Amino acid sequence: MKAHIALLPGDGIGPEVTTEAVECLKVIASRFGHEWRLEEAIVGAAAIDATGMPLPPATLALAKTADAILFGAVGAPRYSDPAHKVRPEQGILQLRQELGLYANLRPVVCFEAVRDTSPLKPELLEGVDILVIRELTGGIYFGEKTRTETRASDLCVYTVPEVERIARLGARLARERRGKLTSVDKANVLETSRLWRSVVVRVMKEEFPDVLLDHMYVDAAAMHLLRRPSDFDVLITENMFGDILTDEASMLAGSLGLCASASIGASTRGLYEPIHGSAPDIAGKGIANPYAAILSAAMLLRHSLRLEREAKALEAAVVAALSAGVRTADLKPRGAPASTRDAGDAVRAALAR
């Protein structure tokens, strides 16, 4: 197979972890007889520094023509002042809108080899395998915004089609897993959540009667993710709720450095990135955890290139590296922590075997 993959490393540790993921993709190509055309472009703070824009036209053009996008992270302290009109994070938001990437898939898996890194009791983590689907292009993040010296507002808006497509995606993926879908909202308070719940109920009743549906308020979901996480299968929710809940859920896995994500839309083109952010405090030190970026590359193989065997091989190689005790500093190593390159090398060695 031939594929064109856009590389947008971004800022902070983004280039470091993306490099390791790319090297793993090269091994996959060699092992399984594929050919990747890898093309890199700037985004985020690096792009602002060079062009004044977080998503330059050339980067957007590349993203629109590639089969898939492997993304690092964006963000830098020099642009963290809320008074800045141009910010690195606008680059990823614009990409999602321009590419129609309306759903963010975030798997939460508790790898047995590093279960001790989670702050939760080990017995609570047995069997935890959750897929959170976050609506990505609507809600309060994209609504009309106003601000004066004394007042500010962010408008939260959802439409029926936006909710329908998330409900359908969640139900389809639940059918492939354990057949249970949990819809998270705040329907006791918010009109957008009342619309969300009514649409989900209708779609499930009419199109997916075989999938078990339940509803949960977002505050209860936050509690039960820690109290009984193994009860969840597929979880769908709106943009801001999903942003918060998935960061919380990352603590089940033990570290943000183990959590991958895929942003997908109606086509096979998707954007794949670790959820950990740019971590500028450790950038350039060679200690960042690359496992989430590598697992994001596995999701790229699965969802955009439809290469399930290759995706499973890369995921199994990550498990093998963790089982061999190759832990970066965030994973509570028993001895000297592995470097970013050490972890990448361990995955590639497992792939070679």
Tell me if 182 is assigned to some domain: yes
Same domain, 249 and 124: yes
Which tens digit of pLDDT belongs to each residue from 116-131?
999 999 889 999 999 9
Same domain, 239 and 259: no
Lowest mean pLDDT among 87-101, 167-181, 187-201: 87-101
Number of domains in the chain: 2
Same domain, 124 and 249: yes
Predicted pLDDT at 39 = 98
Which tens digit of pLDDT belongs to each residue from 104-115?
999 999 999 999
pTM of the model: 0.93
Same domain, 123 and 249: yes
Same domain, 41 and 90: yes
Judged against a pLDDT cut of 90, whether residue 291 lies above it is answered with yes
Span 213-219, mean pLDDT? 98
Residue ranges of E strands in the chain:
2-10, 35-40, 68-73, 103-109, 129-135, 145-147, 152-154, 180-185, 212-217, 234-237, 260-264, 270-274
Specify the pairing of strand 270-274 against strand 260-264. antiparallel
User: What distances in angstroms separate CA 45 from CA 16, 88, 218, 314, one per listed residue?
Assistant: 16, 5, 33, 30
Predicted pLDDT at 343 = 98
Sign of CA dihedral 75, 81, 87, 92: positive
Q: Write down which residue in 202, 221, 253 finishes a domain.
A: 253
Lowest mean pLDDT among 39-43, 70-74, 92-96, 293-297: 92-96
Which tens digit of pLDDT belongs to each residue from 323-332?
999 999 999 9
So which residues are the catalytic ones? 141, 186, 219, 243, 247
Same domain, 223 and 332: no
In whole angstroms, what is the distance from residue 252 CA to residue 176 CA?
A: 23
Lowest mean pLDDT among 3-12, 75-84, 252-261: 75-84
Judged against a pLDDT cut of 90, whether residue 353 lies above it is answered with no
CA 179 to chain centre: 22
Q: Write down which residue in 253, 274, 297 finishes a domain.
A: 253
Predicted pLDDT at 17 = 98
Tell me if 20 is assigned to some domain: yes
Predicted pLDDT at 38 = 98
Judged against a pLDDT cut of 90, whether residue 82 lies above it is answered with no
Same domain, 279 and 212: no
Tell me if 79 is assigned to some domain: yes
Tell me if 143 is assigned to some domain: yes
Same domain, 129 and 213: yes
Average pLDDT score over the chain: 96
83 pLDDT tier (thresholds 50, 70, 90): confident
25 pLDDT tier (thresholds 50, 70, 90): very high
Domain that holds residue 316: 1-105+254-353
Same domain, 56 and 171: no
Instruction: Return the CATH number at 220.
Output: 3.40.718.10
Tell me if 327 is assigned to some domain: yes
84 pLDDT tier (thresholds 50, 70, 90): confident
80 pLDDT tier (thresholds 50, 70, 90): confident
Same domain, 208 and 274: no
Tell me if 112 is assigned to some domain: no
Same domain, 229 and 132: yes
Tell me if 1 is assigned to some domain: yes
Same domain, 143 and 67: no
Q: Write down which residue in 207, 234, 253 finishes a domain.
A: 253
